[in-house]
Amino acid sequence: MQNSKVGISKLLIYIKIGIHVLFKYRHQLSLKFLYSATTLLFAFYHNKLIKLNNTYKLHLYLPAYPTRAFFKAVEDKLLSNPPKPVTIVYSTTKSCTYKCQHCYQRLDKGADLPLDIMKQTVKAISDAGVCFLNIEGGDAFLRFDELCAILDTVDDSVETWVNTTGANVSKEKLLTLKEKGMCGLMVSIHSPIAEEHDKFVGVEGAFELAKQTLKLCDEINLGSAINTVLEYDKIKKNELPQIMDLAKDLKCGFVQLIHPKRAGIWLENTELNKEDNAIKEYVEKAHKHYNGFKTPKYPALPAQAEEEHPEKFGCTSGAIDRFYIGASGEIQPCEFLNLSFGNVKDEDFEIIFKRMREYFKTPCEDWLCATQSGAIYELMEKHNLEKLPIPYEYTKELVESWDRGKPTNLYKKMGLYQNE
């Protein structure tokens, strides 16, 4: 069961969470902890609060309160020095029957990781602090046995969601995954118009499959979100309100509005840079509208362009808050930043993770997938590379001298990442 909380009911739940956090960590209590905890908690307040069964989601990528994973996230940020990452996007396979126009994996090569290395890596990322595991493909349902095995590997200190197009999903599979601890499903719908969505992903009937999958989520009380990439022409056609109406009808908890990125197959798409400011302006207004008082019956609208605003969290890639592991084992700062810091087939996860963190010691304002996409493309051209991500030997050419912008003010206020 998913429903939204706004106004006084939302405020009261936030107060309850704050009191619970302070009581639980009363032995570590100090003025600094009190200030940091309050600042971090209310950094999410501009989002709509979603009740998911007997828990509360302050944000899609923050584990639900009052789960063990939620408190692990609190400890990651407020009691660890340096703070630890909360989220990982983990690709289990490149195999996919769709041909999405924006695919950031289309140029990724190399065989999928064997199950034993996948499980070792999942255990290692949990030990590194990750408490929100977002599994994707390709199509993760094409390696369903491996997907089940990964869920068996994590405990309740990690909240798990799975991305899907809606293909290869059944009620029986969803019930199996729910029993193994999966919290929710993120389903891709890139247009409210069936023909347009099907054209975008290259598969006839994809729109109806996605809707069917979301209906199954509601039927079995599984968390659900729509992932949507809206290009500027779709925004001008006013497609987002139609998607929000669709999500409300399908009883989704979230619609994640994903900013079009120069990554993967779109790495050469310089038109995205020209439209960037107009999209950000629209997203800010949409985020405020759908997470506010006037739309209480609609899902929450998390939007990357809003969350990564310089006055909020800024760019959190590089394991500041999140990072990415591709299906072949390459560790990247973000799924939209096609740079590798090493492959878990060749080195231990801990070595690669530490290497990457050296370049991301402090959160900064610049949205790197936007500011550095041109430089990444130039590296690809310079070294005649035909695949992504850029290998670490070439990644070093960029990251050792790049400008990531000013340190993010929110984290400075909380006193986090200041002593690395």
- What is the pLDDT, as a whole number, of residue 370? 86
**Pick from 69-78, 154-163, 298-307, 345-354: least confident:** 298-307
Q: List, for residues 32-46, the tens digit of each pLDDT value.
A: 899 999 999 999 999
**Order of strands, sheet of 159-164, starting from the edge strand that comes earlier in the sequence:** 254-258, 223-229, 182-188, 159-164, 132-136, 87-91, 322-325, 331-332
Q: For residue 246, give Cα distances in angstroms to 140, 207, 355.
A: 25, 12, 43
- What is the pLDDT, as a whole number, of residue 277? 82
Give the whole-angstrom CA distance, residue 254 versus residue 4.
Answer: 10
Q: List, for residues 8-57, the tens digit of each pLDDT value.
A: 999 999 999 999 999 999 998 898 899 999 999 999 999 999 999 999 99
User: What share of the chain has pLDDT > 90, as a percent?
Assistant: 81
- What is the pLDDT, as a whole number, of residue 213? 98
DSSP secondary structure code for residue 327 in this structure = T
- What is the pLDDT, as a whole number, of residue 274? 78
Higher pLDDT among residues 242 and 420, named by residue: 242
Higher pLDDT among residues 122 and 304, named by residue: 122
Give the whole-angstrom CA distance, residue 254 versus residue 257.
Answer: 9
Query: Angle 127-133-137 (CA atoms, 0-180°, nearest 5)?
Result: 125
- What is the pLDDT, as a whole number, of residue 318? 96
Domain boundaries, the chain: 2-78
Q: Which residue has the tokens 């959160």?
A: 363
Res 229 pLDDT > 60: yes
Beta strands in 92-145 (DSSP E): 132-136
